[in-house]
Amino acid sequence: MDRVLLVEDLTKHYASGSRGLRRTRGKVKAVDGLNFSIERGETLAIVGESGSGKTTTAKLVLGLESPTGGRITTGIDSAGGPTVQAVFQDPWSSLDPRMRVGAIIAEPLLFQDSSSRAMRRRRVEELLDLVGLDLSSTERFPHQLSGGQRQRVAIARALASKPDLIVLDEPVSALDVSIRAQIINLLADIQDALRTSYLVISHDLATVRIGADQVAVMYAGRFVEYGTADALFDDPQHPYTQALFAASLPARPDRRRIDGAVSEPDATPPATSGCSFRLRCPLASKICETTDPKLIQVDEARLAACHLLNSAQ
Amino acid sequence: MTPPNDQNHAVEEDGPFQDVLLEIRGLRTYVASSGQIGRAVDGVWLDAHRGETLGIVGESGSGKSLTALSIMRLHGENAEVVGGQILYEGTDLLKLSDDQMRAFRGARIGYIPQDPMSSLNPVISVGKQIAEPLRWHLGLRGKEARARAIELMEMVHIPEAGTRFDSFPHEFSGGMRQRVVGAIALGGQPDLLIADEPTTSLDVTIQSAYLKLLRELQRKNNLTIIFITHDFGIVANLCDRVAVMYAGRVVEVGPTDTVLLSPAHPYTQALLEALPDVAERTQRLKTIGGQPPSIFRDAVGCSFAPRCKFRMDICEQEDPSDVALGSNHRASCFAIGPY
Amino acid sequence: MVERATPTAMPGETVDLSRLQERLRSNRGRTTLAVVVAILGLVLLLGVFGGALAPHDPFAPSLSDRLTPPFWQSGGSAEFPLGTDSLGRDILSRIMLGARSTLVVATAALLSGALIGTILGMIGGFFGGTIDAFISRAADITIGFPMILVALLFAVTVGPRPENVVISVAAILWARFARVIRGEVVSLRQRGYVESARVSHMPTWWILLRHILPNILSTVLVLASLQMGWVIIVEASLSFLGAGIPLPEPAWGAMVADGRDYITEAWWISTMPGVFIVVTVLALNLLGDWLRDALDPTLRVS
């Protein structure tokens, strides 16, 4: 058991003022009591739509925001900081346009005691090789690279300080389809070679299918289903998970489903009492209005938060 | 590159859509940027048949958006249509005056752009924005315009249309805003609707509903839809025919089922192989090496040749000609033998 | 500079590149830029060497030559090309020397205001919270102040000296910089590369100097060139009102004031320095506009 991340009861509340016409006074529970862990060399994918809280979760794990409650435990590096790095969604704004690629990749190493210029240079060359970029890239500026190349730079930089865990927030959504495949393969290769763990945040189930070992489906700040990738993909149990699957359109005309897909013209906001999903759930019943379902083990491969699944146990 | 022969217009045995509404012939739209001329749309031949949904699929830089903008003549100042014709029921749109084109837009061709926030005026109520084309193109005023606008809002399933007439764009969610944009586009009762990646910023469940809505609107209003996207999933579920664009040209076009199940062009094949599938757990995806060519390149030969695994000498010397593959399906590639 | 690629048109197809080529060739105001740079270069030259190059002693009165019109009018002469004032001093020489005091004071005021404003804007924008609220409120209040009034009050209480002009201008100018820079920094803080740096535990001073500062520099530059014109006008106005650079230094504004009583009979005394003020400020504004256009689009991906 070599754990690189342990998250216990993670909560993040925002005080919502009277900003925006529809915001009510009080708290916005962006993240509401998450519990999960990641082992070395493993990939956990958190899947959800906008407003689910998945991006906030990423920021909390990265230390960009501080939790309102709960605890995050990661490995500690030689400088006393957590061994977590990040790759962000937008390749156009995740690299400083005024820095050269070599400097960007070497930046995390700058304030480490043991680094010298020569060492950093060597490390940069190693990393460029690892991500499949030409050595001549060191002198280039980001705007001279394509989107896919920039993401490779971002990955190289994330690997520079040899982190145990990399948080990837929608790492390929902003890339062209043919480039996505390259980056997904690259991430898989790196994981095989270095046993780096990944926390992948995504809204796209298909992308996540490739490398995920564990998958958590997030809705309104909580996990509604959390288990092995095989279990969730082969047999999604929670109604929301099923809705997400039904709505993702495969590129196979023999598996057409648009007219049968669960669809919603408008994003119904989560309910504030009982089960947060009940206003969108085709199976909602009396108990769903009054009681909040807990996330519990419903079979050997997963946890889910749904009254119907609990009673079926 | 030789233009397609009249194969596309010939009466075919198994195509449900015969009547051609829009013919794009040899469209070239070039852009001026950083002291160079870029060949963003470089010879597009494409037809849209009445009543069908035609998908135009491609990656960034393929020229798909600019093709749509060229039809509407809404490309910016830095782009110029330098050649070709766009025939709408026989009228060449490129030869119309600005005033004539303005009358065309909205009344004959509707347009749904990608980002609803930038196409809706934040300080004007939604109802008024929907009523605007009604005034312009149908001459409706006051109460009539309002009533018709509310009808349109109901047609796109905006709940409580009567009260929401006076709401502002920021009071709607993303999916609803796109419906408002749809209502505006259809106000003038156009026959052709061009949708440029309208669901890119929407969540999947909202996207699902929106696509269903488009299908319903198409049936009710006898619309022809041209749908620009990069998402093959949408194409598979929405489009009757699909055109694949690469480096400013159409490399393959045909019925959706045919193109997706038996792609003829190497680019289409490679692209489909690179797609992750929700249903299959694969460890590695097949990729296409290299990158799309710059629009400023000197073009000799097939623009996909550098990345193509079937590349032959001739591919780098000449432009590939169109090969007819039966039932309205064609692709331009030297490696495809005639059937 | 002209197109490289030739279109692969087919026989019978016509391709018309003329309008595109025209767009590429357009000067885009290149001549304007050259003129602007020339004017500003000249003013700068005068500022540095004006005193030495002046044909006459700007301070020496010569009552016999008083109120001589410019050389193109009857009664004028080439000896005093732009005429003389009520004390017979050569206007051109005074303008040339005056350039220095005007420029020195204006530059000092601009630099101080820009420096203070940029630093405070960066701090407020990056750290947020109470300190940001404090700085923003202070800036809002300052911007509301009528500049001239404050400077006048200051001059009346403390006495008219060039240093005081610098202080009072800087005391108002900082707010304009602070507000703009703060806004930029707030949005920069959310950028991927800044968040990346934070995730890598780069020290705050490093993030501010290496990531924030270089990316706001172009904004600072544009704002500075646009504000410089305003600063010159303020300085000239203060001198005009007697609250700026005191005699006997021939500041442009003060020269305009000198000619007040002689507007009808000797219009050139006020007008000549006035023209120099207008042209300089105009050139600065045009430079600022050009800089803004030149620096912004490169940062955008097309």
CB contact under 8 A, A107 and C199: no
Using 50, 70 and 90 to split pLDDT, how confident is the model at A150? Answer: very high
Is pLDDT at C8 greater than 60 in this prediction?
A: no
Contacts of C214 in chain A (CB under 8 A): 98
Going from N- to C-terminal start, the domains of chain B cover 6-108+190-332
Q: What is the pLDDT of residue A22?
A: 44
Is pLDDT at C295 greater than 80 in this prediction?
A: no
Using 50, 70 and 90 to split pLDDT, how confident is the model at B9? Answer: very low
* Beta carbons of C147 and C234 less than 8 angstroms apart: yes
For residue A291, the domain's CATH number is 3.40.50.300
Which residue, A104, A131, A162, sits at the end of a domain? A162
A167 and A154 in one domain? Answer: no
* Beta carbons of C75 and C68 less than 8 angstroms apart: yes
The domain over range B6-108+190-332 is classified in CATH as 3.30.70.120:
no
CB contact under 8 A, B36 and C23: no
Using 50, 70 and 90 to split pLDDT, how confident is the model at A311? Answer: low
How far is the C-alpha of B24 from the C-alpha of B41, rounded, in Å? 12
> Mean per-residue pLDDT for B293-303?
83
Regarding beta strands B20-33 and B36-49, do their DSSP bridges make them parallel or antiparallel, or are they unpaired? antiparallel
Is pLDDT at B240 greater than 80 in this prediction?
A: yes
A23 and A157 in one domain? Answer: no
Q: How far is A160 from chain C (nearest CA, A)?
A: 10
Q: What is the pLDDT of residue B5?
A: 42
Is pLDDT at A276 greater than 90 in this prediction?
A: no
* Helix/strand/coil for B124: coil
How far is the C-alpha of B250 from the C-alpha of B64, rounded, in Å? 9
Residue C61 resides in a domain: no
Q: Residue A228's beta-bridge partner residues?
A: A214
How far is the C-alpha of B39 from the C-alpha of B56, rounded, in Å? 18
Is pLDDT at B235 greater than 60 in this prediction?
A: yes
Is pLDDT at A23 greater than 80 in this prediction?
A: no
Using 50, 70 and 90 to split pLDDT, how confident is the model at C7? Answer: very low
CB contact under 8 A, B80 and C19: yes
* Beta carbons of C68 and C89 less than 8 angstroms apart: no
Residue of A nearest to B234 (CA): A249
Q: What is the pLDDT of residue A7?
A: 93
Q: Number of A:C CB contacts under 8 A?
A: 56
User: How many other C-beta atoms can be found within 10 angstroms of the C-beta atom of residue B115?
Assistant: 16
Q: How far is B44 from chain C (nearest CA, A)?
A: 12
A158 and A172 in one domain? Answer: no
Residue C285 resides in a domain: yes
What single DSSP character describes residue A293?
A: P
In three-state form (DSSP H/G/I as H, E/B as E, the rest C), the secondary structure along chain C is CCCCCCCCCCCCCCCCCHHHHHHHHCCCCHHHHHHHHHHHHHHHHHHHHHHHHCCCCCCCCCHHHCCCCCCCCCCCCCCCCCCECCCCCEHHHHHHHHHHHHHHHHHHHHHHHHHHHHHHHHHHHHHCHHHHHHHHHHHHHHHHCCHHHHHHHHHHHHCCCHHHHHHHHHHHHHHHHHHHHHHHHHHHHCCHHHHHHHHCCCCHHHHHHHHHHHHHHHHHHHHHHHHHHHHHHHHHHHHHCCCCCCCCCCCHHHHHHHHHHHCCCCCHHHHHHHHHHHHHHHHHHHHHHHHHHHHCHHHCCC
Q: How many residues does chain B have?
A: 339
Q: Please report where in the chains the tokens 């009552």 appear, as a residue.
A: C63
Residue C115 resides in a domain: yes
Is pLDDT at A106 greater than 70 in this prediction?
A: yes
For residue C292, the domain's CATH number is 1.10.3720.10
Model ipTM value: 0.86
Burial of B189 (0-12, 13-18, 19+ CB in 10 A): middle
Range of the domain at C145: 72-299
A204 and A178 in one domain? Answer: yes
Regarding beta strands B20-33 and B79-88, do their DSSP bridges make them parallel or antiparallel, or are they unpaired? antiparallel
Using 50, 70 and 90 to split pLDDT, how confident is the model at C301? Answer: very low
* Beta carbons of B322 and B331 less than 8 angstroms apart: yes
Between residues B171 and B11, the one the model is more confident about: B171
How far is the C-alpha of C65 from the C-alpha of C69, rounded, in Å? 10
Q: Residue C84's beta-bridge partner residues?
A: C90
How far is the C-alpha of C70 from the C-alpha of C72, rounded, in Å? 6
Q: Chain C window 90-119: which residues touch A at a Cβ cutoff of 8 Å?
A: none
Which residue, A162, A179, A202, sits at the end of a domain? A162
Q: Chain C window 166-205: which residues touch A at a Cβ cutoff of 8 Å?
A: 191-193, 195-203
Is pLDDT at A18 greater than 60 in this prediction?
A: no
What is the tens place of the pLDDT at every residue in A47-65? 998 888 999 999 999 999 9
Q: How many residues does chain C have?
A: 302
For residue A206, the surrounding DSSP H or E stretch is: helix A205-211
Residue of B nearest to C14 (CA): B83
Is pLDDT at B6 greater than 50 in this prediction?
A: no
Is pLDDT at C5 greater than 50 in this prediction?
A: no
Q: Which residues contact A201 (CB under 8 A, 6 or more apart)?
A: A45, A46, A54, A55, A57, A58, A167, A168, A169, A170
The number of folded domains in chain C is 1
CB contact under 8 A, B276 and A245: no
Q: What spatial distance separates the first Cα and last Cα of chain A, rounded to whole Å? A: 29
Kindly state the tokens that stand for B177.
């805003």
Backbone angles phi, psi at B261, to 5 degrees: -90, -35
How far is the C-alpha of C279 from the C-alpha of C284, rounded, in Å? 9
Q: How far is A25 from chain C (nearest CA, A)?
A: 20
CB contact under 8 A, A251 and B272: yes
Using 50, 70 and 90 to split pLDDT, how confident is the model at A165? Answer: very high
How far is the C-alpha of A78 from the C-alpha of A82, rounded, in Å? 9
The number of folded domains in chain A is 2
Average pLDDT across chain B, whole number: 87
Between residues A32 and A261, the one the model is more confident about: A32
Q: How many residues does chain A have?
A: 313
Highest averaged pLDDT of the listed ranges A264-278, B2-16, C3-17? A264-278
Is pLDDT at C170 greater than 80 in this prediction?
A: yes
Residue of B nearest to A133 (CA): B290
Q: What is the pLDDT of residue C298?
A: 47
Whether the CA torsion A16, A18, A20, A24 is positive or negative: it is positive
Q: Which residues of B fall below an 8 Å CB-CB distance to C?
A: 1-3, 26, 28, 30-33, 35-37, 39, 42-43, 77-78, 80, 82-84, 296-299, 319
Residue A131 resides in a domain: yes
The dihedral over CA atoms of B141, B144, B149, B154, expressed in degrees to the nearest 10, equals 180
Q: Does A77 touch chain C (CB under 8 A)?
A: no
Q: What is the pLDDT of residue C78?
A: 79
Is pLDDT at A91 greater than 70 in this prediction?
A: yes
A190 and A252 in one domain? Answer: yes
User: How many other C-beta atoms can be found within 10 angstroms of the C-beta atom of residue C77?
Assistant: 13
Kindly state the tokens that stand for C29.
């105001």
Regarding beta strands A84-87 and A165-169, do their DSSP bridges make them parallel or antiparallel, or are they unpaired? parallel
CB contact under 8 A, B3 and C10: yes
Regarding beta strands B249-255 and B330-332, do their DSSP bridges make them parallel or antiparallel, or are they unpaired? antiparallel
How far is the C-alpha of A147 from the C-alpha of C134, rounded, in Å? 40
Helix axis angle, C213-240 relative to C91-127, nearest 10°?
A: 140
Range of the domain at A151: 94-162
> Mean per-residue pLDDT for B128-137?
90
Q: What is the pLDDT of residue B114?
A: 84
Is pLDDT at B335 greater than 90 in this prediction?
A: no
Kindly state the tokens that stand for C156.
């009346």
Which residue, A162, A188, A204, sits at the end of a domain? A162
Average pLDDT across chain C, whole number: 82
* Beta carbons of C121 and C182 less than 8 angstroms apart: yes
What are the strands of the beta sheet with B224-229, ordered from one edge? B109-112, B192-196, B224-229, B53-57, B241-246, B249-255, B330-332, B322-324
